Homo-oligomer: A and B are copies of this chain.
Amino acid sequence: MARRLQNRRRPARSLNQLPFQVPASRIAPVAILSDDEIEAIHHASLRVLFETGIEINSSNARSMYKSAGAEVDAVSERVRMAPELVESLISTCPANWTFHARNKVHNIEIGGNRLAFCNATTPPYASDLKNGRQTGSLENFTKAVQLCQSLNVVHFFYGYPVEPQDLPVVTRHLDAYHTMATQSDKVWRAYAMSDMSDAIAMAQIARGVDDVQFVSEPSLMLNCNTNSPLKIDAAMCDGLIAMSRTGQPVVISAFTMAGAMAPITMAGALVEQNAECLAGMALTQIVKKGAPVVYGAFTSSVHMKSGAVSLGTPEYAQAAIAGGQLARRYGVPYKSSNVNSSNAVDVQAAYESMNAIWSATMGHANIMAHGIGWLESGLVFSFEKAVIDAEMLQMMIVFFRQMDTSQDALGVEAIARVGPGGHFFGDQHTLERYKTAFYEPMLSDWRPYDTWVEGGAKTATERAHEIVGELLDSFEVPPMEAAIREELDAYVIKRKEELA
Contact = CB atoms under 8 A, between A and B. Distances in A.
Contact of A415 (B52, B308, B317): B52
A429 B263 contact: yes
Could you say how many copies of this chain the assembly holds? 2
A309 interface: yes
Contact of A446 (B306, B351, B441): B306
A345 interface: yes
A441 B449 CA distance: 31
Given A268-B410, A396-B314, A354 B346 contact: no
A360 to B, nearest CB: 11
A424 interface: yes
Interface string A65-104: 0000000000000100000000000000000000000000
A266 B403 contact: yes
Given A41-B410, A412-B47, A52 B395 contact: no
Interface string A357-391: 01000100000000000001101000000001001
Interface stretch (A114-122, A227-235, A472-480, A489-497): A227-235
A397 B315 CA distance: 11
B411 A260 contact: no
Interface string A38-53: 0011001001100111
A449 B343 contact: yes
Nearest to A384: B347
A446 to B, nearest CB: 4
Given A31-B27, A354-B350, A388-B347, A48 B229 contact: no
Interface in A244-285: 258-268, 271-272, 275
Interface stretch (A140-148, A197-205, A209-217, A457-465): A457-465
Contact of A346 (B347, B439, B446): B347
Interface stretch (A152-160, A170-178, A289-297, A430-438): A430-438
Given A261-B424, A310-B446, A429 B388 contact: no
Interface in A404-454: 404-406, 409-412, 414-416, 418-425, 427, 429-430, 433-435, 437-441, 443-449, 451-453
A352 interface: yes
Contact of A354 (B345, B355, B414, B427): B355
Interface in A292-351: 301-306, 308-310, 313-315, 317-318, 322, 341-351
Contact of A317 (B52, B399, B404, B464): B399
Interface residues of A, number: 127
B315 A420 contact: no
Contacts of A78: 420
Nearest to A341: B446
Contacts of A55: 420-421
Contacts of A449: 133, 343, 376, 379
A318 B399 contact: yes
B314 A446 contact: no
A193 interface: no
A32 interface: yes
Contacts of A10: none
Given A48-B415, A310-B444, A354-B358, 14 more contacts: A33-B403, A54-B420, A259-B437, A263-B414, A267-B411, A268-B414, A302-B438, A315-B398, A342-B445, A346-B460, A348-B444, A348-B460, A354-B355, A355-B392
Q: What 9 pairs between A and B have smallest CB-CB spacing?
A: A268-B411, A263-B411, A354-B354, A55-B420, A350-B350, A314-B398, A347-B350, A348-B460, A230-B420
